[in-house]
Amino acid sequence: IGTSGDTTGSFVTEVPLKDISSISLDKSKSSPNTILLHATKDGFRTFKEDDEGDFNLKAPVSQLPLFIDVSNSKTLERVLELLKTHCKECGGTNLKLKNL
């Protein structure tokens, strides 16, 4: 379930690991310690559920948050290592963490 502007509803976003261009850690008050996955220039394909229960393609998103409590540095390191390893295995780039 997500919101986008005035739109509320159920969304599904495809995140092919090879399409993650970078990762960052958002330390803002609204999203403390949230990992953001940044997409390549085409974005991550996103679908919205309609009234009949079908999912229709919507505008791609450029970034997607991972809501994992990474306030513990060991948890953050483990999550980042998993992301880097699996993205590389799927043909993605060598990811580095960027702070926002």
Using CA atoms, how far residue 71 sits from 63, 74, 88, in Å, is: 21, 9, 25
Whole-number Å distance between alpha carbons of 54 and 38: 27
Q: Read off the pTM.
A: 0.78
13-61 pLDDT, tens digit each: 999 999 999 998 887 777 677 889 999 999 999 999 999 999 999 989 9
76-95 pLDDT, tens digit each: 888 889 989 998 899 888 88
68 lies in which domain range? 2-99
Measured distance between the N- and C-terminal CA atoms of the chain, rounded to whole angstroms: 25
Number of domains observed in the structure of the chain: 1
Q: 8 forms bridges with which residues in the sheet?
A: 3
**pLDDT on residue 31:** 66
